[in-house]
């Protein structure tokens, strides 16, 4: 096969020249493609390796950068390496046009594609590690994942949004938040839910997701952001003002 697009991608997007470009090709090859083209290898073994390297580099960074308890650092690590985060990094680098999928998988829902891109991101880490060594893989992770640490801290995305909203609402307004489904749309196999987070009768956040639980989490995150940045827009009397 012509590996020129992969060599160009590696050079221009990753800033690397692979000794064995087939490692990158394999990293971007989904299992479904191999079902139709038996002569190729899929990326799951590289994904397994890349996941381990990603976790090690991230853990080492947090250990040496912050003097915090294990529980907090575990939550920070989870926020940095969760599927959404690494999937976003893969999209930013432009993986999608080079990912080899079966014809059926190409027509799949976007949610499935996002997971595939995240898996490919880990597989590419595995490919870089094998081809270039640990230090190069570490620099790649630092540039595309660890750089997001300041954002994780600023927006509290490492905390469980529902727990954070409950603590915030009870402290400021002496009220427990509730969640109500506003609407559902899409086919049964790919349904999307829109949920509102309420303090009493006041809606303070909206969120969507492919499950009610995910939509609630998204709504809670939006509500925390709204309460912290626009408290004057919430027509409730904070409990601590009554003291």
* CATH code for the domain of 183: 3.30.160.20
Q: Are residues 146 and 166 in the same domain?
A: no
Q: Are residues 52 and 134 in the same domain?
A: yes
Q: Are residues 37 and 70 in the same domain?
A: yes
Q: What is the pLDDT of residue 30?
A: 96
Q: What is the pLDDT of residue 196?
A: 96
Structure tokens at 187: 């086919």
Q: What is the pLDDT of residue 79?
A: 87
Q: Are residues 135 and 187 in the same domain?
A: no
Q: What is the pLDDT of residue 136?
A: 98
Q: Are residues 13 and 113 in the same domain?
A: yes
Q: What is the pLDDT of residue 80?
A: 92
Per-residue pLDDT of the chain (243 residues; tens, 9 = 90+): 899 999 999 999 999 999 999 999 999 999 999 988 999 999 999 999 999 999 999 999 999 999 999 988 998 998 899 888 899 999 999 999 999 999 888 877 676 788 899 999 999 999 999 999 999 999 999 999 999 998 888 766 677 788 889 988 998 889 999 999 999 988 887 788 999 999 988 999 999 888 899 899 889 988 988 888 888 778 775 554 444
Q: What is the pLDDT of residue 155?
A: 67
Into how many domains does the chain fold? 2
Q: Are residues 206 and 139 in the same domain?
A: no
Q: Residue 202 is part of which domain span?
A: 161-241
Of 152, 181, 214, which closes a domain? 152
Q: What is the pLDDT of residue 241?
A: 44
Residue pair 205/223 in contact (Cβ under 8 Å)? The answer is yes
Structure tokens at 42: 């899929």
Residue listed under structure tokens 């809606």: 203
Is there a catalytic annotation at residue 122? Answer: yes
**Considering 47, 51, 119, 131, which one is annotated as catalytic?**
51
Question: Nearest 5 degrees, angle CA 79-CA 212-CA 107?
Answer: 80
Q: What is the pLDDT of residue 237?
A: 59
**Considering 88, 105, 119, 122, which one is annotated as catalytic?**
122
CA 184 to CA 113: how far, in whole Å?
22
Of 112, 134, 152, which closes a domain? 152
Q: Are residues 180 and 137 in the same domain?
A: no
Residue listed under structure tokens 């002569």: 39
């Amino acid at each position: 096969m012509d590996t020129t697009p992969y060599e160009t991608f590696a050079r221009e997007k990753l800033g690397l020249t692979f000794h064995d470009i087939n490692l990158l090709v394999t990293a971007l090859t989904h299992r479904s493609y191999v079902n139709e083209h038996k002569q190729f290898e899929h990326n799951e073994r590289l994904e397994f390796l890349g996941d381990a390297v990603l976790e090690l580099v991230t853990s080492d960074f947090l250990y040496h950068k912050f003097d915090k308890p294990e529980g907090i650092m575990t939550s920070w690590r989870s926020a940095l390496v969760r599927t959404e985060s690494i999937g976003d990094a893969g999209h930013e680098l432009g993986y999608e046009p080079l990912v080899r999928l079966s014809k059926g998988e190409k027509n799949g829902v976007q949610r499935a594609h996002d997971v595939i891109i995240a898996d490919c991101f880990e597989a590419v880490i595995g490919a870089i590690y094998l081809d270039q060594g640990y230090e190069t893989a570490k620099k790649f992770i630092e540039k595309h994942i660890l750089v997001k640490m300041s954002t994780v801290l600023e927006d509290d995305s490492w905390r469980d949004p529902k727990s954070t909203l409950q603590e915030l609402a009870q402290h400021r307004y002496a009220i427990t938040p509730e969640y109500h489904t506003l609407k559902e749309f899409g086919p049964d196999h790919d349904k999307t839910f829109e949920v509102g987070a309420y303090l009493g009768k006041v809606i303070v956040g909206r969120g969507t997701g492919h499950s009610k639980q995910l939509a609630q989490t998204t709504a809670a995150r939006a509500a925390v952001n709204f309460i912290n940045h626009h408290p004057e827009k919430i027509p409730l009397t904070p409990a601590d003002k009554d003291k």
